[in-house]
Amino acid sequence: MQISAPLKKLAADANVILSAIAGKAALRVFLKEDIEIATTEFNIEEVREYISVISKRYELSEEILESQLKLLPLKIHPRHFYEDQIQKASKKMSDRDEDDIELLALAMKLKIPVWSNDKDFQHSGIEVYTTAKLLNILKA
């Protein structure tokens, strides 16, 4: 599959960030130097809420997971940056997970694709890449 424009920037959902800090496949996308990965403060808080779950599942200490999170090359945007897109994103995500509204608003603001393994972004009007699809495109 050939992509017309190279991927330079992605808006990362909490599920791919959690995968990366656990050392799973998503980490390989973060290690690509030519891609900027953005997310929201809201998504970072969501990641922190699930660190204990990931810690138990993969038998990793919460401290290590928190350290991994801090090491990820992420540009974290505050809500005021994409606030003007919240209402539009909310309409597009109606009847779906409202926790995804902020990331969609950020992606709309930056005019970039969403990186998520969550099906809630389908039919949101924005391009969505799963980790598997990205790894295939990037041959990471």
* CA atoms of 1 and 112, how far apart (whole Å): 19
Average per-residue pLDDT in the chain?
A: 92
> Domain range for residue 59?
9-138
Number of domain units in the chain: 1
The CATH code of the domain that includes 30 is 3.40.50.1010
Cα distance between residue 116 and residue 113, in whole Å: 10
Between vectors from CA 96 to CA 17 and to CA 110, what angle results, nearest 5°? 55
For residue 91, being part of any structural domain is answered with yes
The mean pLDDT value for 2-18 works out to: 81
1 is a domain residue: no
The larger pLDDT score, comparing residue 46 to residue 124, is at 46
**Is residue 4 a part of any domain in this protein?**
no
- 101, part of any domain: yes
Relative orientation angle of helices 41-58 and 62-71, to the nearest 10 degrees = 140
Residue 76 belongs to some domain of the structure: yes
Residue 28 lies in a domain: yes
Looking at the domain assignment, is residue 99 inside a domain?
A: yes
Q: Decide if 93 contacts 101 (C-beta within 8 A).
A: yes
pTM of the model: 0.92
Q: What is the pLDDT of residue 6?
A: 64
The two counts, helices (H) then strands (E), for the chain are 8, 5
